[in-house]
């Protein structure tokens, strides 16, 4: 039979209120008294009634995190960062995948609302707002990850996609590449547009003329990436370098390069976003722009918990820097030899 709070109080020779104060931290308790109560809690294996506590405080100590694709390499460290930050503040994180489907995202947010979570971290499938607005109007704080949802006035944590692409193109151009292609993911996506803007700025900074014919792709996915990459690789002349806009289309690009027997970086220079290529197994190792995904998750959780405590605090948008990892696929010694 489970121990009760009254049994803990009797064994520790304190009041029920003192036990409650020790466990909640709401009221300061002396170190000696705290240690005595916690020793009894451990001895009796006392488990607080979370339902009763949530009814009293009107908080469930639960946070919902909705991501759009659990298979994407960006999200595992992001979820870990959010979970670690939540755990430190005694919150439980519930993670759900919308699978890039707006209808499923709407259903998930509605379910989280009925279960009275204290807040939500959202990596949205797009910029649709109505269902997110409904959550905000219900009084549930939301922090967006990866992108802003304009017009809602909610906190968000994003990476500097524009600058990441610009720096990567600057590197490719510095290696002597004058024909640099861009392999799109979903061109309707805000992130993709930011990266494309950075690509164009990088070309301009390097004095390389933008060539519309060196753009390919329209939808995110390995198969779509393969087909778009094949079109670029089969061009004559072939581009000297290709920047893939996300990890999934980059996987298709690598298959297309392999199937054509091309050597990288001798025949083609490659770089990509979201860095799933850091392992030592792949040869050559791929130059990539990485987002600080763990930091994004932990920072978003930090902002959300502050918002829960102070609903009227000033809205914030935090933009974190990306990092360029230069590896063998863009080695300057072999790159820049031009098209085949």
**H helix runs in the chain, sequence order:** 5-12, 16-24, 31-44, 50-57, 75-88, 102-114, 130-137, 161-174, 190-205, 222-233, 247-259, 293-309
Question: Is the pLDDT assigned to residue 35 strictly greater than 50?
Answer: yes
Supply the CATH classification number for the domain 61-159+292-321: 3.40.50.2300
Domain with CATH 1.10.260.40 in the chain: 5-48
CB 65 within 8 A of CB 96: yes
Supply the pTM of this predicted model: 0.76
Instruction: Look at residues 294, 272, 296 and name the one whose alpha carbon lies nearest to residue 285.
Output: 272
Q: Which of these CATH numbers, 2.40.30.10, 3.30.428.10, 1.10.260.40, 2.60.120.10, describes 5-48?
A: 1.10.260.40
Q: Tokens at residue 288, please?
A: 């990539």
| pLDDT score for 337 | 38
Q: Please confirm whether the linkage preceding 265 is cis (ω < 30° from 0).
A: yes
**pLDDT tens, 156-212?**
999 999 999 999 999 999 999 999 999 987 777 888 899 999 999 999 999 999 999
Q: Taking 50 as the threshold, does the pLDDT of residue 333 lie above it?
A: no
Q: How many helices (H) and strands (E) does the chain have?
A: 12, 12
Length in residues, the chain: 340
**What pLDDT, on the 0 to 100 scale, is given for residue 277?**
58
Reply yes or no on domain 161-291+325-330 having CATH 3.40.50.2300: yes
Range(s) within the chain of domains with CATH label 3.40.50.2300: 61-159+292-321, 161-291+325-330
Task: Give SS3 for 210.
Answer: coil
Q: Bigger pLDDT: 96 or 283?
A: 96
Q: Which long-range contacts (CB under 8 A, 24 or more apart) does 20-29 make?
A: 23/48, 24/53
- Which pLDDT band, with edges at 50, 70 and 90, does 12 fall under? confident
CA distance 100 to 108: 12
Going from the C-alpha of 224 to that of each of 124, 161, 227, 230, 247, the distances in angstroms are 22, 22, 5, 10, 12
* pLDDT for the residue 25: 64
40-83 pLDDT, tens digit per residue, is 888 888 776 554 454 444 567 899 999 988 888 889 999 999 99
Per residue in 124-158, pLDDT (tens digit) is: 887 778 899 999 888 999 999 988 888 888 999 99
């Amino acid at each position: 039979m489970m121990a009760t709070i009254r049994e803990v109080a009797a064994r520790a020779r304190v009041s029920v209120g003192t036990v409650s104060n020790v466990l909640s931290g709401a009221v300061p308790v002396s170190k000696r008294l705290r240690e005595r109560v916690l020793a009894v809690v451990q001895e009796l294996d006392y488990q607080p009634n979370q339902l009763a506590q949530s009814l009293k405080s009107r908080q469930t100590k639960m946070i919902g995190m909705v991501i759009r694709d659990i298979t994407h390499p960006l999200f595992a460290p992001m979820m870990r960062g959010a979970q670690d930050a939540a755990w430190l503040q005694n919150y439980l994180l519930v993670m759900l995948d919308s699978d890039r489907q707006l209808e499923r995202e709407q259903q998930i947010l509605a379910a989280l609302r009925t279960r009275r979570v204290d807040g939500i971290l959202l990596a949205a499938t797009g910029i649709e707002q109505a269902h997110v607005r409904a959550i905000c109007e219900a009084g549930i704080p939301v922090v967006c990850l990866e992108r802003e949802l304009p017009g809602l006035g909610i906190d968000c944590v994003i990476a500097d996609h524009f600058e990441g692409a610009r720096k990567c193109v600057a590197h490719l151009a510095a290696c002597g590449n004058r024909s640099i292609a861009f392999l799109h993911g979903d061109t309707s996506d805000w992130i993709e547009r930011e990266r494309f803007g950075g690509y164009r700025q990088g070309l301009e900074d390097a004095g390389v003329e933008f060539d519309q014919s060196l753009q390919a792709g329209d939808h995110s996915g390995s198969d779509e990436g393969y087909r778009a990459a094949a079109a670029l690789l089969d061009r004559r002349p072939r581009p000297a370098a290709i920047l893939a806009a996300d990890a999934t289309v980059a996987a298709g690009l690598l298959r297309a390069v392999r199937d054509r027997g091309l050597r990288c970086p001798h025949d083609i220079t490659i770089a990509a976003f979201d860095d799933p290529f850091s392992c030592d197994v792949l040869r050559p190792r791929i130059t990539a722009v990485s987002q600080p995904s763990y930091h994004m998750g932990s920072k978003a959780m930090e902002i959300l918990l502050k918002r829960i405590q102070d609903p009227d605090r000033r809205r914030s948008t935090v933009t974190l820097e990306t990092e360029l990892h230069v590896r063998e696929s863009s080695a300057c010694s072999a790159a820049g030899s031009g098209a085949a």
